[in-house]
Structure 1
Amino acid sequence: MPEPAPAFAVGQRWLSETQPELGLGMVEAVEHRRVTVLFPATGERRTYAADNTPLWRAQLATGELLRDLDGQDLTVVDHLEHNGFITYLVRDTTGHEQLLPETRIDPRLRLSRPQQRLRAGRLDSDTWFRLRVQALDQTAQLATAPARGLLGARISPIPHQLHIAAEVADRHHPRVLLADEVGLGKTIEAGLILHRLLLAGRVRRVLILVPEPLLHQWLVELLRRFNLRFALFDRTRVSALKQGADAPNPFESEQHILCSLDLLTSDPSLADAALHAGWDLLICDEAHHLEWSPKASSPAYDLVAALAAITPAVLLLTATPEQLGRAGHFGRLRLLDPERFGDYQAFLDEEQGYAPVAELVSRLLDETPLTTEEQARLEALLDDADGMTDAETAESAPRRQPLDAQSDRQAIIEQLLDRHGTGRVLFRNTRAAISGFPERELHPARLESSVSESDDTTETEADPLDALWSAIENVDRLDNDPRLDWLITQLRTLAPAKVLLITATAETVLDLRRALLERAGIQAAVFHEGMPIVERDRAAAFFADPEEGTQILLCSEIGSEGRNFQFAHHLVLFDLPADPELLEQRIGRLDRIGQTETIRIHVPYRADTADETLFRWYHEGLDAFSAHQPAAPAIFWEQRETLQALLADPTPEAGEVEALITEAKALRLRLDAELAAGRDRLLELSSHRPVRGAALVEALAAEDHDPTTETFLTGLWDAFGVERELGPGGSLVVRPGAHMLQERFPELPDEGITATFSRKHALAHEDRRFLTREHPMTRAALELMTGSHMGTSAIILTQDPRFASSALLLEAVYVAECPAPPILNAQRFLPPTARRMLIDEEGKERSAEIDINALGGKCLRSRRPLARALIKAKSKVIEAMVALAEQEAARESRALREQAGRLMRDQLDQELARLQALARRNPAVRPAEIEALAAERDALAETLANSRLRLDALRLIAFA
């Protein structure tokens, strides 16, 4: 006969059987067969079905300890239950007794139940006990891992990406622009930051805005690389959610949402809904499309500005931060901190001061001895960074030790990078500073054109860029275009090598597909803006298939942004874009960090046309095909009008073209020198800290070689009844067993999974789950163990010559506990480490002299009569041993609180002092960041003061 449903009443105190870390809950509402419980210790609210809850009534037994809302420690003497509510008779430390209603109990209370389960003979197997201890150890290791949040990503450990992710995610409400050059992994950096923030509990509600063509790519990458599931909000889904006049805000239906920015700007009501949904983190990709100038801004910019103004954390991504000039770049920084970046001219003036700092940093990096003048300038920069007045500097001079720029080089560099420039707001790594990129190899083809000069002439249109495009496009005459015959020949020559072709328009893509099929019988996959997103993804996957896929993928310009085709090594630029940053975007689809082959760039151009002029300007003037050229955007905006005029002229003077190219080359050399000496050099240095990045790479390598996660999961699968067998290439095939302990194992679908514990194999085989300590299955398995009663009480019978027959040892497992809101991340100072005590019958703690892990024997769970007889015969001894363990735990708890508090203050006080000093010199440090850190320190001090060691499990070892 099933047990009757529990009777809930508002105000009662209940505990979660599956999530004891929530603390003591209070019933807030009971309605429609549902009960809502508030857990004040963590600020979380949960709703359960009243007839099937994982809750149990919080009822303390005589002798148990508790704390009231005033922080007073009390002992239960007796209790009285009336109308469903409990009132306790308690005794304080002075012996005074009083009545305490259950509503006055400190909500951070967690009842220790292992002793009651042991006393009642509710035993678990020794296997479950050992698995529980392993789970506790795993949880503690994860809480304190320096690379937490970075361990579980399916990525190659690349130092600059890991450094940026850790640096940004560890800030309070980070607001930064990720602007690494094409191919350096901005999307991976954003995913790592997001993953680390989510695991630390610093963010919950996340909105990601991307261009519509990149929606599915982001969706797949978030799931494939980071195991993050996002709800895709497209027009179909939003329309369904908006049905009815009283429909709720669609953006409140999910915690993690991926959406097209175009969708919001095209629907004011939807944009308003997004603005009122409340977000912890906003991520906006391809932020160079957000147009701003001192005189005007685009609707997309205005919407992102409104969202950024009310969202604590913001990440903007762009590979081309200055595509719209310095004003557009300033506009994007303004989204992050409108107070810091409020005056455009002041911003330009400030940047002029970065050059001397960059020069000093460069000399320190090169280990060049400083002159007396440079030493004095360095002293002045560091003094000024400390925020001292001239009088304070003079007063402190006699006491100050002279700087040793050589021996203290790394520390001084760190200080200078910290205190000067935009490094706290903007991260931009360049190819010049990062190794691992392939060589580029240009293969130009000068083709005689069959198009007459009159055919190649177009009228100037309203937008000069449109005129430029028209001047170099002959879509309607593709059949007479010599580039087509050249392309057919190249494909046959290069077969079976994969070839990516990018052109400006979808019309050219469709004409090329038709022409290749009709003339040469070549099947081509196509990718353009007129296709549904799902069809584009299928085309990209068809191209990527090494056996059945097409040799060539024809892309319109949307293939230049966001997509990664680095498995191919041949790129055909059927036409050349007007903007050099767009050209770099195209090349960057193949030329990415991790690419293993030389990139062959094929450029067919028609002789004596605008094609040739543009090709020569790129090749001879900018040298844009051999390497990324950071000065190219500035040169383009300098020469834009002249270039446009020459491209629109059917018969430009040869001297004019030569002058344009000569000027471009001279500008490039001059700007390269300026960029190397000034602002960008400083930014490059602050964006990539090799020492920090290398330390994180080592941490990931150590994690990859640590077998404990595999040992824990495979042991848990076996105990749970999950089936596993070896799969291809050293993988594991894991599937639900026919006789599992419960109906489902966490994160294991009915059809099973193919998995690997190897990063190398996971990177080579994307269809395999990469099981790490941070994988959702592992984390759910840890919660399954630590959040339930499994393994909390066990008895084993063993023999050991050191102990007489009938002797007893009691292993008491305690866990450091600190109920706190997840956002405080208190576990980094007080991890839930398992403290294993070993108490003998004389009350001695013997874990230091006896190897606990070596204690094994026959589990008595299957011999319950013998176990119960043993417990009954030794009940008083067992109670005394438990009491002694509790006394020892109380003593250690005090030391643990002091140690955790000291560690917290040392770390946060130091960081707070650093930020306060930086704020006096570097306005990129926001006051809100300092205030948040100070508030966190104060909240942690109070929380850690209430921490303790909680009894989690007991194992009785009886000797025969």
Structure 2
Amino acid sequence: MVNIPVGSFVTVLSNSRGIGKLTSISPDKQFAQVTYFHSIHKQETLTYPVKEVKATVLKSQTRCYYYFAKEERWIMGRALRVIDREYEVDFPDTFSKYIPEKDLLVRCEDSVPIPTDVLSILGQETAFFHIRRTNFLMTLMEQRAAAKGMAGLISSNISLMPHQVEVVRRVLEDPVPRYLLADEVGLGKTIETGVILRQMLLDDPRMRALVIVPSFLITQWNEELKHRFQIEQFEGRVEFTSVELFHSYSGSYPDIVIIDEAHEVAKLGLTSGIKEKGRYEQLKLLCHRAHVLLLLSATPVLNNEHEFLSMLHLLDPDNYKLDELDAFRRKVTFRQEVGKSLLSFREDSKPFMLKRGISNLRSRFNNDPILESHLVELEIGLDRFGEEERRDLIRRIRVHISETYRLHRRMLRNRRENVQDLFRHSRGENKVTEEFDLDERTVQLHKLLDEYRYEAWAAERELWKEVETRESVNFRIWLTLIEAAGCDEDLFQKVVNTRRAKKVERSLDGVFPDEILTLLASSPYFLGELELLDRMIEVFKYPSEEGDKKLLLLEIIKSIQDKSFRNREIPKKIIIFTQFTRVCEDLLEYLRHNLGTETVGAYHSGMEREEIEFVTNSFQNNQSCEVLICDSTGEVGRNFQFADHMIHYDLPLSPNRLEQRIGRLDRLGRTKPFQMSVLTGPDATVNFQFAWHNLMDKGLDIYRSSISSLQFFVDKHMPTILRCLYVHGIEGLEVETENIRLTIQEEKVNIAEQQVIDEIDARENQATSFLEQLVSYERNPQKIQDSVEPWICEALKFDKIRGTHFSQVLYEGTPSTLVPRSHLQTLHDQMNIPGCFSREQSIDLKNTKLFRIGEPFFDTLSEYLRWDDRGQTYAFWRTVPSWRGRDQDWLGFRLHYIVEGDTEPLNSLISSRGDDNQSKAYRRLLDKFFEPTYISILLDYQGNIANSTYRDLLETPFFDVEEGGNDTNIIKERLGRIRSTFSSGTWENICQKAAENSHRYLLSDTSFQELCKQNTDRARSYFGYMKTQLELRNNYESMWGKKEVFDDELYEVILKGIENPKVHLDAAGFLVLSDKPLRKQTQRGGGRF
């Protein structure tokens, strides 16, 4: 501190309390006393080292206070500029004056404005400010009430899907946010994760996140989190690393860990390799130290218990130990038996089935009093209840069993069949198109492949007599030939030539695994093999007369686009899949030559991440880019739900890979149908391509419905299917196609039995009411905008600037903006990209934020609104024409209160425990059970509750007399009306009494007390059910792991905060009702009190 005069405005470097007043310096000049001004009734003086104290200058528009000693009263104004340590201050009842700096005071940053203090010194603004401020405040409160404190949800650029909202709600209301998100493929696990991540980062600015995803999905994840969840707002707090390289992560332990495709890293815990085990141990350390853990995996537990146990061990190591696989399998088996009971215990079940189900559930859960009470009620009501009552009770029974006895209470799964109504367009909407070859040569080729199969099998006949045999050298070579033949003639010839010469062609490196190439080059020939290989090469000696496979592909693309042109539609987006990178590159060259370079792009292995993003973005956003060719890299993780047509240039011999392909388009959020075409080989009896396609179509039904939940069942049966194909040829495959068609139905039942107890129900009552309230609020974005912009643009005088899209806006401060420059700079920094009020538009537009709570500009404005007293006070005179001739005016006050759950008891307990990580989840429960509410109390000036006559007269909004109304603001020269009627001491006392009396009236009001009671009863019932459910789960789980403890003390303080809510005075107004208008003149006849 260098020569700062006493009486100067200063800030202190070691705190964030804002501006204070230097009041003294110690004789040794080592310490300084700084006074912080909270209100006219509260000032606080603290001592600081001199070196921490810095002089500061008030920014334009800063609210300031001045004690007018001559009249013994406080007055308020706005600082405009400073000249020679004197500030030009604009006062409400006079013109601006210059006041010495030492005589001015400014409220510190942690002060809370008290409206009646402002009113008592006649510092009120016009009703214009109050109306606009209140509308803005009400919007904030409505959003908080609708979102139940989940600002991260309401401010995300997403559609509000019931199942996703329910997952988010469960995680964010849980003080231990460690979850396995196990929705089936395409249901939006990334969306759920993004909302949770956003909320956690909003909750605690100290939190950091590490996102671990497959390397080829890092950019997609990053883009998704930026576009939908605005993570660039949290600069430097979200890091990405790949599943392949997470072991090299060297940062500090993150607070939030997110792992996509978690089953892949969980496999590391099951291997015997030292390196893999070490990576798993490192992952465990990351996961176990994290406060927030989200594991994402659609992997079903059935037939995959070991891998699933490894995932749950990352989530909950105390209850899921890797060496307790047998116990875990018993747990899975038990839940499958429970699931079997639940499958037949549905809302549409016949009464006799329900009676049987009641008996089954009773015998299984004979120590569950909640379930027993529901079952008794259903038993009695089977013949008495209406259909809706019965269905509701059955749903409650199912929800109770699911929530209490699920495999892990922090595993959340949504099944596709339960949200099918959200898929407006899916794979089953259009029949798959089969495209047979134009190439007459492939007929002969497939005959030769069948002959090769038979001779190869015959050479190993003794081996294949063993029914357990699933593969051999000849078998693997033949499958390689089948895959190559089904894809590309050039590739096929290279494979055949490698086998003939027993020397690997260099162009095949990386196309097939090294093990396969070694077999091709080193395995001995079987009798007659070389001749068969020569005959295969001979097939391609001459070109096709009708055209090859590439030409067929070209004709398909042209046909699709010609049809679009005839229908006057924009060109279709066509995505082509092939297994092999080399084929992908060849097709790119061929199609670009025939269709144009800009028309066709490719996404394949070996491309740099930037290249991939450029190509995929062009395919999505550039109308001239119509075709994208993908190799196997494009089968996983990418979202192409905007594409119109999928062409399978070949079919992988793995159905699960085909499912992944189709899943790129068949996803939640599709807005239009899509078509599929399969190139099915020659139109001939012997056709391995078509036979395999037939297995996919008729056996697995993969083109009409997802098989993602059947992946392990399919993997288990594939060796048998391929054995039959090899041993018996196409006839064997046809038999297996029928077998799999029948057994797959049984497996679907088995999976349903296992998953029915683990799936969540987004139709459950509290989930439904939450979503309905949220969706209802979002229905009218124009109303939100109309409530917000008058405060921002008309009151605070921000300029509104239109973006490139009609719905985009930016708000920009100007020299006229009524916000101090210090706050204005913060707001300016947060308007770096445009925003909009329509959720629908925010989803469609890139680089556009959604104006809701949780968005930085909105939040900073709301914080400033609560600190600034502009608009918190008002005074107006209302002329009542029907009172003409009345001798007495009516004088009174209207006090406006915000009522919300009180966090103080909760904060106090959490603080005493020294752990605030869980506090936000508990605070959300306060919002859940006591929505913030705005309540107004009308009193006369003597402190009595106003009767209905005066309430009715003041019900209509303020309408200025200058605009044709009957209302006049009591400001500036009209303030004499109040001063001439009341002395400053009397007026101050009347304002204070109005605050005290209104607060007392509010607390004693029966409707207010009933509101508190209802909210408390709801919360107590909810917490009581949670506790009982936990006890039931603990009793049941005791054989498998540690018990979870219900925190009675904590939930009691939450109840205390609901039963005795926080009541905060937000605004106050002085009102006069008179038969005469108020004029500027002070003589009799110009209005009276």
Answer whether TM exceeds 0.5 for this pair. yes
Q: Distance in 1 between matches of 2:747 and 2:941?
A: 81
* Residue of 589, 602, 622 corresponding to 1:514: 589
Q: SS of the residue aligned with 2:432?
A: strand
Q: Distance in 1 between matches of 2:236 and 2:257?
A: 14
Amino acid at match of 2:130: F
Report the counterpart of residue 917 of structure 1 in structure 2: 1032
Question: Could you tell me whether the CA contact under 8 Å between 1:14 and 1:55 is conserved in 2?
Answer: no
Deviations 1:166-214 (A, max 9, x none): 2333222233222222222222222334445566779944333222322
Is 1:834 matched up with 2:934? Answer: yes
Q: Distance in 2 between matches of 1:583 and 1:182?
A: 13
Distance apart, 1:440 and its partner CA: 4.4
Question: Could you tell me whether the CA contact under 8 Å between 2:576 and 2:629 is conserved in 1?
Answer: yes
Amino acid at match of 2:701: D
Report the counterpart of residue 313 of structure 1 in structure 2: 292
The 5 Å alignment of 1:388-399 reads none
Distance apart, 1:605 and its partner CA: 4.4
Which one has the bigger helix percentage?
2
Question: Could you tell me whether the CA contact under 8 Å between 1:287 and 1:316 is conserved in 2?
Answer: yes
Report the counterpart of residue 940 of structure 1 in structure 2: 1054
Amino acid at match of 1:714: E
Is 1:383 matched up with 2:498? Answer: no
Q: Distance in 1 between matches of 2:676 and 2:477?
A: 25
Q: Distance in 1 between matches of 2:414 and 2:632?
A: 25
Distance apart, 1:483 and its partner CA: 3.2
Deviations 1:283-302 (A, max 9, x none): 22222322426554666644
Deviations 1:431-456 (A, max 9, x none): 32222242242223343566979999
Distance apart, 1:634 and its partner CA: 3.1
Report the counterpart of residue 778 of structure 1 in structure 2: 858
Amino acid at match of 1:629: I
The 5 Å alignment of 1:347-426 reads 347-361=328-342, 362-370=344-352, 373-386=356-369, 404=381, 407=390, 408-422=393-407, 424-426=409-411
The 5 Å alignment of 1:112-131 reads 113-131=114-132
Report the counterpart of residue 146 of structure 2 in structure 1: 145
Amino acid at match of 1:319: A
Q: Between 221-230 and 318-327, report the one with greater CA deviation.
A: 318-327
Report the counterpart of residue 485 of structure 1 in structure 2: 551
The 5 Å alignment of 1:189-588 reads 189-195=192-198, 204-229=207-232, 254-265=236-247, 267=248, 270-271=249-250, 273-274=251-252, 276-277=253-254, 279=255, 281-292=256-267, 294=270, 296=272, 301-321=280-300, 325-342=304-321, 343-361=324-342, 362-370=344-352, 373-386=356-369, 404=381, 407=390, 408-422=393-407, 424-433=409-418, 434-435=420-421, 436=423, 437-438=425-426, 439-447=429-437, 448=439, 472-473=483-484, 477=490, 482-495=548-561, 496-519=571-594, 521=596, 523-545=599-621, 547=623, 549-588=624-663
Q: Distance in 1 between matches of 2:185 and 2:191?
A: 12
Question: Could you tell me whether the CA contact under 8 Å between 2:262 and 2:295 is conserved in 1?
Answer: yes
Deviations 1:267-320 (A, max 9, x none): 2xx34x34x34x1x3222222322426554666644432222122332221234
Question: Could you tell me whether the CA contact under 8 Å between 1:178 and 1:428 is conserved in 2?
Answer: yes
Question: Could you tell me whether the CA contact under 8 Å between 2:10 and 2:53 is conserved in 1?
Answer: no
The structure-2 alpha-carbon separation of the partners of 1:29 and 1:413, relative to structure 1 and needing over 3 Å to count, comes to farther
Question: Could you tell me whether the CA contact under 8 Å between 1:181 and 1:429 is conserved in 2?
Answer: yes
The 5 Å alignment of 1:892-907 reads 892=1002, 899=1013, 904-907=1019-1022
Is 1:845 matched up with 2:976? Answer: no
Distance apart, 1:773 and its partner CA: 5.2
- Unaligned 5+ residue runs, structure 1? 36-48, 59-107, 232-252
The structure-2 alpha-carbon separation of the partners of 1:602 and 1:148, relative to structure 1 and needing over 3 Å to count, comes to farther
The structure-2 alpha-carbon separation of the partners of 1:7 and 1:584, relative to structure 1 and needing over 3 Å to count, comes to closer
The structure-2 alpha-carbon separation of the partners of 1:924 and 1:475, relative to structure 1 and needing over 3 Å to count, comes to farther
Distance apart, 1:570 and its partner CA: 0.8
Distance apart, 1:950 and its partner CA: 3.4
Q: SS of the residue aligned with 2:699?
A: helix
Question: Could you tell me whether the CA contact under 8 Å between 1:795 and 1:867 is conserved in 2?
Answer: no
Q: Distance in 1 between matches of 2:56 and 2:159?
A: 47
Deviations 1:575-620 (A, max 9, x none): 3334333321210111123434443222224456875564344334
Distance apart, 1:551 and its partner CA: 0.9
Q: Distance in 2 between matches of 1:831 and 1:535?
A: 49
Distance apart, 1:11 and its partner CA: 11
Distance apart, 1:703 and its partner CA: 0.4
Question: Could you tell me whether the CA contact under 8 Å between 1:387 and 1:917 is conserved in 2?
Answer: no
Q: SS of the residue aligned with 1:214?
A: helix
Distance apart, 1:928 and its partner CA: 8.0
Q: SS of the residue aligned with 1:920?
A: helix
Amino acid at match of 1:351: V
Question: Could you tell me whether the CA contact under 8 Å between 1:222 and 1:228 is conserved in 2?
Answer: yes
Is 1:724 matched up with 2:728? Answer: no
Q: SS of the residue aligned with 1:444?
A: strand
Question: Could you tell me whether the CA contact under 8 Å between 2:873 and 2:1069 is conserved in 1?
Answer: yes
Report the counterpart of residue 809 of structure 1 in structure 2: 892
Deviations 1:27-80 (A, max 9, x none): 899797589xxxxxxxxxxxxx9889999999xxxxxxxxxxxxxxxxxxxxxx
Question: Could you tell me whether the CA contact under 8 Å between 1:443 and 1:603 is conserved in 2?
Answer: yes
Q: SS of the residue aligned with 1:951?
A: strand
The structure-2 alpha-carbon separation of the partners of 1:868 and 1:841, relative to structure 1 and needing over 3 Å to count, comes to closer
Q: SS of the residue aligned with 1:575?
A: coil
Question: Could you tell me whether the CA contact under 8 Å between 1:839 and 1:885 is conserved in 2?
Answer: no
Q: Between 523-532 and 196-205, report the one with greater CA deviation.
A: 196-205
Amino acid at match of 1:441: K
Q: Distance in 1 between matches of 2:1053 and 2:477?
A: 58
The structure-2 alpha-carbon separation of the partners of 1:890 and 1:34, relative to structure 1 and needing over 3 Å to count, comes to farther
Deviations 1:689-728 (A, max 9, x none): 3656544442233102356532321111222222337788
The structure-2 alpha-carbon separation of the partners of 1:837 and 1:588, relative to structure 1 and needing over 3 Å to count, comes to same
Q: SS of the residue aligned with 2:417?
A: coil
The structure-2 alpha-carbon separation of the partners of 1:764 and 1:14, relative to structure 1 and needing over 3 Å to count, comes to closer
Q: Distance in 2 between matches of 1:668 and 1:580?
A: 13
Q: Distance in 1 between matches of 2:303 and 2:51?
A: 58
Q: Distance in 2 between matches of 1:834 and 1:772?
A: 19
The structure-2 alpha-carbon separation of the partners of 1:199 and 1:808, relative to structure 1 and needing over 3 Å to count, comes to farther
Question: Could you tell me whether the CA contact under 8 Å between 2:1034 and 2:1043 is conserved in 1?
Answer: no
Distance apart, 1:148 and its partner CA: 5.0
Question: Could you tell me whether the CA contact under 8 Å between 1:919 and 1:925 is conserved in 2?
Answer: no
Amino acid at match of 1:317: L
The structure-2 alpha-carbon separation of the partners of 1:750 and 1:505, relative to structure 1 and needing over 3 Å to count, comes to same
The structure-2 alpha-carbon separation of the partners of 1:578 and 1:626, relative to structure 1 and needing over 3 Å to count, comes to same
Q: SS of the residue aligned with 1:6?
A: strand
Q: Distance in 1 between matches of 2:134 and 2:1054?
A: 27
Q: Distance in 2 between matches of 1:206 and 1:26?
A: 41
Matched residues, percent identical? 20
Distance apart, 1:571 and its partner CA: 0.8
The 5 Å alignment of 1:86-97 reads none
Question: Could you tell me whether the CA contact under 8 Å between 1:564 and 1:590 is conserved in 2?
Answer: yes
Q: Distance in 1 between matches of 2:758 and 2:879?
A: 67
Report how many aligned residue pairs link the two structures.
856
Q: Distance in 2 between matches of 1:461 and 1:748?
A: 70
The structure-2 alpha-carbon separation of the partners of 1:829 and 1:670, relative to structure 1 and needing over 3 Å to count, comes to closer
Q: SS of the residue aligned with 1:500?
A: strand
- Unaligned 5+ residue runs, structure 2? 21-35, 66-108, 457-470, 494-539, 541-547, 562-570, 908-918, 959-966, 1079-1089
Provide the TM-score with structure 1 as the length reference: 0.76
Question: Could you tell me whether the CA contact under 8 Å between 2:210 and 2:257 is conserved in 1?
Answer: yes
Report the counterpart of residue 636 of structure 1 in structure 2: 714
Report the counterpart of residue 250 of structure 1 in structure 2: none
Q: Distance in 2 between matches of 1:512 and 1:26?
A: 78
Deviations 1:338-390 (A, max 9, x none): 333332222222222234433443333223114655433233345333499xx
The structure-2 alpha-carbon separation of the partners of 1:871 and 1:455, relative to structure 1 and needing over 3 Å to count, comes to farther
Distance apart, 1:429 and its partner CA: 2.7
Amino acid at match of 1:700: L
Distance apart, 1:568 and its partner CA: 1.5
Q: Distance in 2 between matches of 1:452 and 1:19?
A: 90
